[in-house]
């Protein structure tokens, strides 16, 4: 569920993931039962190997490629500000603001918040009706790319980012549908916002991550908190290769484990 503007195709990296709508559920999130039930049942303890295996699979590469495969760290290196446009749904805007606040609370070194204005934002979230999703994708990425995305992915939501030559993300676009139910909206909002921050590669080989097309969460799960906290640790730099990243991970993992344990009231192993 990620895409980059066709205006910047030379510098763009696109990944897209299908957010499949599950059977209708009643309200989830803290307010909604579907995600709350999943959160109560989620796995909460992982080995270093399990965490790092997922990190390398998700943080490097991309599911859908626009400018070729690049195995480098991609991330924002400055504050992230999120604006909302499109369908005027106060309930969806409020839910999105809670998602952004939740991400900010759980990722230690990520400065993310809602923007005061569209001009101040570097993440643009477009709220659309499901019937207008394909048209919106075509408007952003062109008709040919939109057909490719629809044929290969048939997404319910989408995101992408534009990076510079240093692999720093400069701008992200997120498209969310507002009329597929609360659970689907929250599931897509978490996955697309998080992927727009850099971990763009979906994988079916990691069963604990929301970046798996067969997994629906509706909340910011503990496993993915590890992934995002590793990515946004100051020692993990945009542009790093796999080997460069491995060299700093031992100390990073100690600090990330302590932080994730703190914000989730987990015992520190």
Each residue's pLDDT tens digit, 54-103: 999 999 976 554 545 568 999 999 999 999 999 999 999 999 999 999 99
Is residue 269 included in any domain, yes or no? no
What are 24-31's contacts with CB under 8 Å, separation 24+?
24/181, 25/181, 25/182, 25/183, 26/182, 27/182, 28/182, 28/183, 28/186, 28/218, 28/219, 29/95, 29/98, 29/182, 29/186, 29/218, 29/219
Structure tokens at 265: 């009231």
CA dist 133 and 240 (Å) reads 35
Domain span at 145: 6-264
Mean pLDDT calculated for residue range 211-218: 86
CA dist 166 and 164 (Å) reads 5
Is residue 1 included in any domain, yes or no? no
Beta strands across the sheet bearing 169-177: 12-13, 157-163, 169-177, 123-128, 80-86, 112-114
Cβ distance 112 to 82 under 8 Å? Answer: yes
Task: State residue 71's pLDDT score.
Answer: 85
Contacts of 212 (CB under 8 A, 6+ apart): 202, 203, 204, 206
Most trustworthy range by pLDDT among 2-16, 47-61, 90-104: 90-104
Percent of residues, the chain, with pLDDT higher than 90: 62
Handedness of CA 197, 199, 202, 207 (dihedral sign): negative
Which residue stretches of the chain are H helix? 33-41, 48-59, 90-106, 133-141, 143-153, 182-195, 222-231, 242-264
CA dist 38 and 92 (Å) reads 21
Is residue 136 included in any domain, yes or no? yes
Domain count, the chain: 1
Mean pLDDT calculated for residue range 233-250: 97
Three-state secondary structure string covering 101-123: HHHHHHCCCCCEEECCCHHHCCE
Q: Is 88 helix (H, G, I), strand (E, B) or coil?
A: coil
Contacts of 52 (CB under 8 A, 6+ apart): 249, 253
pLDDT for residue 172 is more than 90: yes
Beta pairing, strands 157-163 & 169-177:
antiparallel
Q: Is 170 left (phi over 0), alpha (psi -120 to 50) or beta?
A: alpha
CA dist 107 and 105 (Å) reads 6
DSSP designation for 243: H
Is residue 91 included in any domain, yes or no? yes
């Amino acid at each position: 569920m990620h895409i980059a503007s066709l205006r910047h195709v030379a510098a763009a990296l696109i990944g897209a993931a299908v957010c499949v709508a599950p059977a209708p559920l009643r309200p989830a999130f803290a307010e909604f039962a579907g995600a709350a039930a999943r959160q109560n049942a989620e796995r909460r303890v992982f080995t270093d190997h399990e965490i790092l295996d997922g990190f390398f699979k998700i943080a490097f590469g991309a599911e859908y490629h626009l400018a070729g495969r690049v195995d480098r760290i991609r991330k924002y290196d400055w504050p992230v500000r999120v604006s909302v446009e499109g369908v005027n749904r106060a309930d969806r805007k409020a839910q999105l603001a809670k998602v952004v606040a939740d991400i900010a609370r759980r990722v230690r070194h990520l400065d993310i918040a809602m923007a005061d204005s569209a001009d101040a934002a570097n993440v643009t979230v477009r709220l659309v009706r499901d019937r207008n999703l394909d048209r919106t994708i075509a408007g952003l990425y062109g008709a040919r790319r939109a057909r490719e995305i629809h044929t290969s992915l048939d997404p319910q939501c989408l995101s992408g980012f534009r990076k510079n030559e240093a692999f720093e993300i400069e701008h992200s676009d997120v498209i969310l549908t507002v009329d597929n139910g609360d659970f689907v909206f929250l599931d897509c909002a978490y996955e697309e916002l998080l992927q727009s921050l850099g971990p763009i590669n979906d994988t079916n080989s990691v069963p604990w991550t929301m970046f798996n097309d067969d997994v629906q969460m509706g909340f910011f799960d503990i496993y993915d908190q590890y992934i995002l906290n590793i990515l946004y640790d100051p020692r993990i730099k945009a542009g790093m290769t796999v080997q460069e990243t491995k060299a700093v991970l031992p100390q990073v993992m100690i600090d990330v484990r302590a932080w994730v344990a703190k914000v989730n009231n987990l015992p520190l192993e």
